[in-house]
Structure 1
C-alpha cells in the first residue's frame, strides 16, 4: 500500500493542475469538463509510471519492479513529468482539444513544479 502513495500524490496533483487551469479560464471546475481536461494528462501520467518502472527493471533486473521507489528524482520523476506533459499534449491534440505553445509552457512549468517538486521536498526531508 505504501508503494501506491507516490502514484496517488501524482494523480491528485494532476487533478489540481487541471482544476487550476479550468478555474483560470472561468470554466466549470467539476464534472464532465474536469474529466475532459484530466484524461489526456492522467493517461500520460499512467504511461509515465509504466515507463519508469520498466526503466528501473531494465537497468536493475526484474526484481527492481518490486523495489521500485516512485519518490526518486532521477530518472523516475523526470520520466513521469515528461510523459504526463508530452502524452497529455499529444492526446489533447488528437482529441481536438487546444494545444498552443503558451499552454505547453504553462503546463510544462506547473507539471514540473508539481510532479518533480514534491519529490525534491520529500528527498530533502528524508535526508535531514
Structure 2
C-alpha cells in the first residue's frame, strides 16, 4: 500500500484524540462555510444543525472501522471516515427532512474528502519526509 509504513506504529492517546478533534473541527468548518455561503443568522445553532448528521456519520465510521487503531492512516481510516461521514450524514439529513440534493452531495463529497483525507495525506507526507531525513 502506498501510504503504509514499513514498521507498524501503535497510536498514542494524543494521536487518537487529535484525529477525532481534527475530524470534528473540519466537519464543523465544512458546515460553517456552507451556512455562511447560503444562510445568514442562527450562526452557532445553524452550524450545529447542519453539522450533526455528518458528525454522527463520522462517529459511526470511527466505530465500524475501529479507526483508533491507526487514526492518521489515509487508508482505511481517512477514506472510510470520509465516505462514512458523507453517507451517514446524507442518510440522517434525509431521515430528518433536511435537504439532500445532488449538488450538495457532490460539494460534501469534495469538501469533506479534501478535509478528512487531506490532512492525513499531509501527515503521511511529513512522516515520510522525517523518516528519510533520519535515515540519510
- Give the conservation status (yes or no) of the 8 Å contact 1:44–1:88: yes
Aligned residues: 116
Partner-residue secondary structure (3-state), 1:31: helix
* RMSD, matched Cα: 1.3
Q: 1:126 to 1:29 in 2, by over 3 A?
A: farther
What does residue 89 of structure 1 align with? Answer: 90
Runs of 4+ in 1 over 3 A off after TM superposition: none
Give the structure-2-normalised TM-score.
0.81
Specify the alignment match of 2:31 in structure 1.
18
Q: Give 5+ residue unaligned stretches, structure 1.
A: 57-64
Alignment of 1:1-128 (within 5 A): 1-2=13-14, 3-28=16-41, 30-53=43-66, 68-128=69-129
Query: Which digits, 9 at most, give the CA deviation of each residue in 1:73-115, with x for residues without a partner?
Result: 1111111001100000000001000000010000000000000
Compute the displacement of 1:69 (Å): 1.8
1:21-47 Cα shifts (integer Å, max 9, x gaps): 000103336222112111100100101
CA 1:25–1:122: 2 relative to 1, 3 Å: same
Does the CA contact (< 8 Å) of 1:44 and 1:87 recur in 2?
A: yes
TM-score, length of structure 1 as denominator length = 0.86
Larger radius of gyration between Structure 1 and Structure 2 = 2
Partners of 1:18 and 1:37 within 8 A in 2: yes
Structure-1 separation of matches of 2:97 and 2:91: 10
Q: Distance in 2 between matches of 1:124 and 1:29?
A: 39
Residues 23 and 29, structure 1, Cα contact 8 Å, conserved in 2: no
